[in-house]
Structure 1
Amino acid sequence: MEQTRLSDGDVADQRGSRGGQRSGQQSDFDFIVCGAGTSGSVVAARLAQDGQARVLLIEAGGDDQAESVSNPAHWPLNLGTERDWGFIGEAAPGLEGRRLPLSMGKGLGGGSSINVMVWARGHKEDWNHFAAESGDERWGYKSVLDYYRRIEDWKGTPDPLRRGKGGPVHVAQPDAPQPIAQALIDAAGMAGIPVFDSPNGEMMESAGGASIAELRIKGGKRETVFRSYIGPVITQPNLTILTDALVTRLLFEGRKVVGVEALVGGRRRQFRARHETILSLGAIHTPKVLMQSGIGHEDELRPHGIAVVQHLPGVGRNHQDHLAFGCTWAYREPQGVGGGGCEATLYWKSDARLSHPDILQCQLEFPVPAPAEAEIATPEHGWTMFAGLAQPKSRGRLRLCGPEVNDPIYIEPNSLSEPEDMVAALAAVELCREIGNSAAFTPLVSRETAPGKRDRAGMIDFIRKSAVTYWHQACTAKMGRDSMSVVDNELKVYGIEGLRIADASVLPRITTGNTMAPCVVIGERAADLIRAQHGLTEVQQVAAG
């Protein structure tokens, strides 16, 4: 049956802007994908690609047509706006009782509409761990390399083993990195850290290293995953895109999901899925919708009057995020900012015995103000290195405060609750200071402004009071085979028919680095599994728009 695109509760034309025909009556589809973010955009595009399956893509936010989305320098302007869910974590004892702002993209493109656009694939050991947890080698690194070759349109030095060409996702390093980025690479080499031509590929099969970053910036513009994947198929009549529509709950027939209810234009509407519903709402809203629909720990659902459909105690547990501590230096003279402000990155180990890096350091070419509690002045001109935990051991959780869609969800990050995280944080900051105070920066930098020289107690105080998040929330509906797993190796929710999850919440542990690229892989993998089960034609390459 022919369909049109919907926007603002009604219609979006092929440019994703307001306008077009109204088609408010259509409610039956073959597949419903909830969330037009990094993973959901991939799933919807791949399912709609052959023109046969009727696909509905539902998004709570609006379009991605804004200068703050397309301009690489303006991404911070989206934080705290209608393009940001604006979550706030509960007070964390490990952060001296502070509550962390937990931004998350809202709108077409999701996080890829408001992030810094760093393309980080995850380490080889991440993917091999996922394969072991799921019992499925198709989640292992060897298989994932095949996905990355399909996904990427890599503009760097050819590497047929590891890199793709002609895929939907434009990936490139900056043509002329700022001097401060090159200084970081030089300083890392002086510290004995290997320097690589690329932060992906060989570097992510090793103990770590430093490299000029890879970015999703094309022709001077940020390119969201929504544009990369949905752009080439957006005019197809079998794809419907509904924006400003908040999914409220799943619809069941017994233990089978047959669609969703959504709040559209102030009223509740129901949409039916003939085959499957896919939740790609992110690591906060995916478990929230599950719990408010009756899937979760029965002892936590019943007090809110929610009828239990499936007891799954892992829903909302295992919350993970990358934590960072801003180390800042003042410039001698103002310097330029390239791309989105992040042109160099570093991964390393806090302990040589580890199998893969547990330190993530992302250089920002501008000074990032420290939280007020840290009582550290920010220089007018300078740069900040986010010394971060790539593999935190602390685990948080989500809790409902009520059964209704507008009832907020409690996010308990539990940051720095495990002593191993403080040990790694101290090592990360120490390494950052060693590199930042290197002679390689002398021509550009006048002084270190944070944290400065401190004893151990003072450095711990700095870490607890200055910690912020990379906004990489994940792992709250994890894939696996134990009692706390929510989905199996095919991303199907245990005990429920017709429902899969495809977003960062399915990760058993957070990946080493930014999560955008792994979320694209999750979307591709989910689409392959769905297409195979329902006999859809094999995926053909989606050309970049």
Structure 2
Amino acid sequence: MTDLSAAPKPGGPDVPDARFDFIVCGAGASGSVVARRLAEHPDVKVLLLEAGGSDDIAEITAATAWPALRRAPQNWLFRAAPNQHLEGRSIPMAMGKVLGGGSSINVMAWSRGHQADWDDLAAELDDPGWSYRAVLGLYRRIEDWHGAPDAQRRGTGGLLFVQPPPDPHPIAHAGLMAYAQAGVPVFEDQNGAMMEGAGGVALTNLCVRDGKRVSLYRAYVHPYLDRPNLTVLSDALVTRLIFDQRTVNGVEYLHRGELKRAHATCETVLSLGAIHTPKLLMQSGIGDEAELGRFGIRVIQHLQGVGRNFQDHFMAPCVWEAPQPIEGRNNLAEMTALWKSDSTLDRPDLQSFLCELPYASPEAAGERGMPGNAWSLTTAVLRPVSRGRIRLTGAQPSDPVEIEANFLATAQDRQTLKRCIEFNRDVGNSAPLRPFTKREWLPGTFDDEGLDEFIRNATVSHSHQSCTAKMGRDEMSVVDSRLRVYGIDRLRIADASVLPRVTTGNTMAPCVVIGERAADMLMQDHSLSN
């Protein structure tokens, strides 16, 4: 490996024009995994760049404090473009701007994706390494599972602590009974057999330990900060890729107001997420030549799929006023249910969390606001038909992106969301949850037209942005099954943008799998022994 003289210390000041073996851009769920796995080889020099700052913040550490992070500086505070299907609203989209990325500001739910998600991906790519069977092996390696033993599906002794919620609020158990009465079977483990069949309801798998968040940065990278071969730079915004013709040699980045360069002698890995990864690609000259031409960006590689195929889970939560305070525990979302809007589907397409707080858009709450004591059922559509797009607004790194989320653009998505809301209203008003219910607050009593209006005002993002630089073999694909960008050497992508289709459930766990797969591929291709 290339020697790096005067290597910068982890977290310390940068060395301009420094040389590393690998540069990883983004310290979120995928990037933290890639950086750690590469740094496990002491002769390999790794640079991990993160645009955000420290995660040593009380609201990040405390598992019950995540609602405060929705408007915090540790959030990029993206807003989608005004949407005609949502009364012209421009809805917020959370994404972490901090060490740990989304895993430092999310709801800490560990949801692996359905068996069919992974098997579909393997078939589409003709690569069994992405199959459910292969991914199960990765999950067993990743996890330190502290729930019911399941040697076939769950791992122990891995880097990431995962457990069911200890001492959950009684409303979580009432929620289990309510969904069971509605025909959704109860499972002991959200990520066991429940993710292989028609769905079910279970207590949520959590990345929470002793009441504190377990982010991927804390689990993977933080224990390695004393390693001389790993350099972690926060407040470092990657602005462009450095090319030698069609080979990426490194990156430019803005660090505390100063533009700097770092060079990678082996590879550069983009783990910036489904919004910033396509932005960096396009502003560096990789993307649809028509899109780049709008801003005079020189085309290095025409890939028309960059920024397209945007997907996210959207929802219009239902809210109930409670007769007494709901003192939330663990992550405030201790129960989750997955079921089908249509029994003929091959996997669940709807998901709910029972949230121990009122959760709704300001437009849905209206002038009367939200009750002081309340709880919610989220109504996520997991298999959206609508597709959006990430577009540039200019050629400069400081120019924002335009996010055309395109939620509810199809009648099928609108109908699926309506079914989810109607089902959850029945569940929320059923006998098991009656002790926690004073009255239904949202959507309340509506005719069909009123429910449609509620959906337009209440729909929000689940912040599971994905699929804008997808893996595949068709003309819209951006990376191959080994995460290499088509037509470009020494550049890979490892984040949710590479998924062809957003997974069933929360996306943090699949991002960790993507990171582990990327690290394995890099080690194989560069002859790094395990």
SS of 1:304's equivalent in the other structure is coil
CA RMSD of aligned residues (A): 1.2
How far did 1:233 drift? 2.0
1: distance between equivalents of 2:120 and 2:9? 39
State how far apart, in whole Å, the 1-side matches of 2:105 and 2:7 are.
Answer: 30
> After the TM superposition, which parts of structure 1 deviate over 6 Å for at least 4 consecutive aligned residues?
none
Q: Which among 482, 486, 493 is matched to residue 490 of structure 1?
A: 482
Contact 2:471–2:477 at 8 Å: present in 1 too?
A: yes
Q: Which whole-Å CA distance do the structure 2 matches of 1:29 and 1:493 have between them?
A: 20
Aligned length, in residue pairs:
525
Find the partner of 1:53 among 44, 47, 60: 44
Q: Distance in 2 between matches of 1:394 and 1:273?
A: 38
> Corresponding residue for 1:423?
415
> How many Å apart are 1:362 and its aligned residue?
1.2
Aligned to 1:3: 7
Following the alignment from structure 1 to structure 2, what is the Cα–Cα distance between the partners of residues 294 and 271?
19
Distance in 2 (alpha carbons) for counterparts of 1:460 and 1:507: 31
CA distance in 1, matches of 2:178, 2:362: 27
Unaligned runs of 5+ in 1: 12-21, 539-545
Q: CA 1:495–1:25 in 2, change beyond 3 Å: closer, same or farther?
A: closer
Aligned with 2:83 (options 79, 92, 110): 92
User: Does the 8 A contact of 2:496 with 2:507 survive in 1?
Assistant: yes
Residues 6 and 238 of structure 1, relative CA distance in 2, 3 Å threshold: closer
Tell me the residue number matched to 1:36: 27
Structure 2 CA distance for aligned equivalents of residues 476 and 5 of structure 1? 34
Q: Name the SS of the counterpart of 1:442 in structure 2.
A: helix
Tell me, yes or no, if structure 1 residue 467 matches structure 2 residue 459: yes
Q: 1:101-180 counterparts in 2 under 5 A?
A: 101-180=92-171
1:432 matched residue in structure 2: 424
Letter aligned with residue 419 of structure 1: A
Decide which of 58, 61, 64 is 2:55's aligned counterpart.
Answer: 64
CA distance in 2, matches of 1:450, 1:367: 10
Note the C-alpha offset of 1:26.
6.2
CA distances 1:439-485 after superposition (whole Å, capped 9, x unpaired): 00112211111112322221111111100111111110001111001
- Code of the residue aligned with 2:338 in structure 1: it is Y
User: Cα distance, 1:103 vs. partner?
Assistant: 1.3
Match for 1:399: what amino acid?
Answer: R
Show the counterpart of 1:383: 375
Check the 8 A contact 2:360/2:458 in 1, yes or no: no
1:282 aligns with 2:273: yes
Q: Matched residues, percent identical?
A: 50
**Equivalent residue in structure 2 for 1:245, among 226, 229, 236:** 236
Q: Is the 8 A contact 1:6 1:23 kept in 2?
A: no
Q: Distance in 2 between matches of 1:468 and 1:450?
A: 14
Can you list the C-alpha shifts for 1:26-57, whole angstroms capped at 9, x where unaligned? Answer: 61000000000110000000001021211000
Query: How many angstroms apart in 1 are the aligned matches of 2:171 and 2:7?
Result: 51
Q: Normalising by structure 1, what TM-score?
A: 0.95
Paired letter, 2:147: G
- TM-score of the superposition, structure 2-length normalised? 0.97
2:498 corresponds, among 486, 495, 506, to 506
Of 331, 344, 350, which aligns to 1:353?
A: 344
Residue 25 of structure 1 deviates from its aligned partner by: 4.4
1:525 aligns with 2:517: yes
Note the C-alpha offset of 1:303.
2.0
**What are the ranges of 5 or more consecutive residues in structure 2 without an aligned counterpart?**
none
Deviations 1:366-417 (A, max 9, x none): 1124322563641110101111101111100011110001001100000000
Matched, 1:188 2:195: no
1:232 to 2:236 alignment? no
Distance 1:239 1:468, change over 3 A: same
Displacement, 1:81? 2.1
AA aligned opposite 1:389: V
| Native 8 Å contact 1:6 1:243 kept in 2 | no
Corresponding letter in the other structure for 2:387: R
After alignment, is 360-369 or 480-489 more displaced? Answer: 360-369
2:313 corresponds in structure 1 to 322
Match of 1:307 among 295, 298, 315: 298
Is the contact made by 2:10 and 2:226 (CA closer than 8 Å) also made in structure 1? no
Q: Any idea what the Cα deviations from partners look like across 1:111-154, whole Å, max 9, x if unmatched?
A: 01111100000111111111122221110101000000000000
Q: Is this contact kept in 2: 1:313–1:484, CA < 8 A?
A: yes
- 2:513 maps to amino acid: V
Q: Is the 8 Å Cα contact of residues 470 and 478 (structure 2) preserved in structure 1?
A: yes
CA drift at 1:235: 1.1
Output the CA distance in 2 between the equivalents of 1:521 and 1:291.
Answer: 26
Counterpart amino acid of residue 456 in structure 1: D
**CA shift for structure 1 position 232:** 2.9
DSSP-derived class of the 1:56 partner: strand
**Whole-angstrom CA distance in 2 between matches of 1:113 and 1:94:** 31
- Residue 363 of structure 1 and its aligned partner are, at CA, apart by 1.3
Q: Quick one: which amino acid aligns to residue 208 of structure 1?
A: G
Are the counterparts in 1 of residues 176 and 186 from structure 2 also a CA contact under 8 Å?
A: yes
Pair 1:267 & 2:258 matched = yes
In the alignment, the residues of structure 2 paired with residue 108 and residue 239 of structure 1 have an alpha-carbon distance, to the nearest angstrom, of 15
SS in 2 for 1:258: strand
**Secondary structure of the corresponding residue to residue 317 of structure 2:** strand
Match of 1:396 in 2: 388
Q: 1:203-241: CA deviations, max 9, x gaps?
A: 000100100101000122111100101133221110011
Task: In structure 2, give the amino acid aligned to 1:365.
Answer: E
Tell me the distance in 1 between the aligned counterparts of 2:414 and 2:100.
34
Give per-residue Cα distances to partners, 1:488-513, cap 9 Å, x unaligned: 00000000000000000001010111
For 1:511, the aligned partner's letter is T
**2:71 partner SS:** coil
Report how far residue 75 of structure 1 moved. 1.4
- The whole-number CA distance in structure 2 between the counterparts of 1:331 and 1:131 is 46
SS for the counterpart of 2:516 is helix
DSSP-derived class of the 1:235 partner: coil
- Give the structure 1 partner of residue 202 of structure 2: 211
Closer/same/farther in 2, CA of residues 356 and 369 from structure 1, 3 Å limit: closer
Please give the alpha-carbon distance, in whole angstroms, between the structure 1 residues aligned to 2:173 and 2:92. Answer: 31
Alpha-carbon separation, structure 2, partners of 1:5 and 1:469: 39
Q: Deviations over 1:246-279 (max 9, x none)?
A: 1001000110101000011212111100000000
Any conservation in 1 of the 2:186–2:201 contact (CA below 8 Å)? yes
Q: Which one is further off, 227-236 or 40-49?
A: 227-236
Amino acid at match of 1:170: F
Please give the alpha-carbon distance, in whole angstroms, between the structure 2 residues aligned to 1:173 and 1:5: 38
Q: Deviations over 1:318-350 (max 9, x none)?
A: 001110111011111112201121100000000
2:508 to 487, 505, 516: 516
